[in-house]
A = this chain, B = another copy of it.
Amino acid sequence: MSLNIVEASHKKAKPESEKIPFGRTFTDHMFVMDYEENKGWHEPRIVPYEPLTLDPAAMIFHYGQTVFEGLKAYRTDDDRVLLFRPEKNFERLNLSSDRLSIPPVDEQEVLGYLKELVQLEKDWVPSFEGTSLYIRPFIIATEPSLAVAPSKSYKLMIILSPVGPYFSGGIKPVTINVEDKFTRAVKGGTGMAKTAGNYSSGYQAQAKAVEEGNNDVLWLDGVEKRYIEEVGSMNIFFKIDGEIVTPSLSGSILQGITRTSILELLRKWEVPVNERRISIDELYQAYEDGKLEEAFGTGTAAVISPVGELNWLGKKMVINDHEIGALSQELYDTITGIQRGRKDDRYGWTVEV
């Protein structure tokens, strides 16, 4: 399909320091494409960033039929702009859409439109250390109907937001509460999909964790409240007695692209790695035995977010003396190095815009 581009007549001021609050500043343009039952996905276009106009009965407001993705564009020291494994995001977008009964997109085609959009907004990719241009593709159900059934029309949009470093002033390991009451997801539910409802359902647990002096939440499985799933909205890894352990994809865990990349790196490095079920009891036992050496969350926002302390039913596990572990640091340096074009991209993970 041919892409129509309408340029914005007025250009906004770009951030002038690395202090950019997450997800509040948007660029001059956005990508939009529509779906209708008999036309399929059509009318791809780049237009000025502007408010959306929707009927109050649009299904997105009532039954939550929506999916999204998150990735970043990075500026290299020699002023190129790189994306990190963006094809994986559109692959996952279609997986999420399948779970939510949303029609799939042509992954290569939409990736092409995304590249055109980032190309047009190239000057918005910040160059300060640790900054990037956050990219948010999302699909919403737009049919004006209160019938509880899949929508007959959708809108796919991509908006761009320059963002500051996740850790300002160096990485700080976080304190995490192991949630024992609220549940994020369960087998047969939507936990493996990137869909809106999975996020707001965690706000209560998040608020409780912060009230009790933690930064975030570690989720346990919804069936036995025993097996470790995710931390906040990141995947979780542990180094136990020299071996790296991460929960296997059970059907209720999001398949993180940083998670996949870390597993691939560790295998290349011949570090022992094990994707399997791991219970909170087992983790606590490893801690008591002095074998819990590192813990870290992984995701697009932080890449690696070291866990310095876990609180579980009144028991405290302090990990690596609240310091970032050597392996965590090496993974962080390697991935951010590849993303910023400072390390050799031997795996072909980056895509230049």
Contact = CB atoms under 8 A, between A and B. Distances in A.
Given A51-B55, A181-B188, A183-B187, A203 B146 contact: no
Given A60-B61, A146-B161, A187-B222, A100 B24 contact: no
Interface stretch (A112-120, A137-145, A272-280): A137-145
Nearest to A64: B196
A30 B64 CA distance: 21
Contact of A64 (B144, B189, B200): B200
Given A22-B147, A136-B146, A146-B22, A189 B161 contact: no
A1 to B, nearest CB: 21
A181 B55 CA distance: 34
B49 A52 contact: no
A63 B138 CA distance: 11
Nearest to A150: B203
Interface in A44-92: 49, 51-58, 60-66, 68
Interface string A275-294: 00000000000000000000
Interface in A184-201: 184-190, 195-201
The prevalent SS among residues of A at the interface is loop
Contacts of A65: 200, 203
Interface string A2-35: 0000000000000000000111101000100000
Contacts of A313: none
Contact of A55 (B52, B101, B146): B52
Contacts of A186: 183, 186, 189, 222-223
A99 interface: yes
Could you say which of A30, A146, A181 has the most chain B C-beta atoms within 10 Å of its C-beta? A146
Contacts of A23: 57, 145-147
A190 B201 contact: yes
Contact of A56 (B51, B148, B188): B51
A225 B55 CA distance: 38
Interface string A215-251: 0000000110100000011000000000000000000
A141 B144 CA distance: 19
B64 A24 contact: no
A349 interface: no
Interface string A93-113: 000000111000000000000
A134 B147 CA distance: 12
Given A66-B61, A197-B196, A203 B101 contact: yes
A24 B144 contact: yes
A24 B68 CA distance: 27
A263 interface: no
Most chain B CB atoms below 10 A, which of A144, A181, A183: A183
13 contacts: A24-B144, A24-B147, A26-B56, A63-B199, A64-B199, A65-B200, A99-B204, A100-B203, A181-B188, A185-B189, A189-B222, A196-B196, A197-B198
7 tightest A-B CB contacts, nearest first: A197-B197, A23-B146, A64-B196, A183-B188, A63-B199, A65-B200, A101-B203
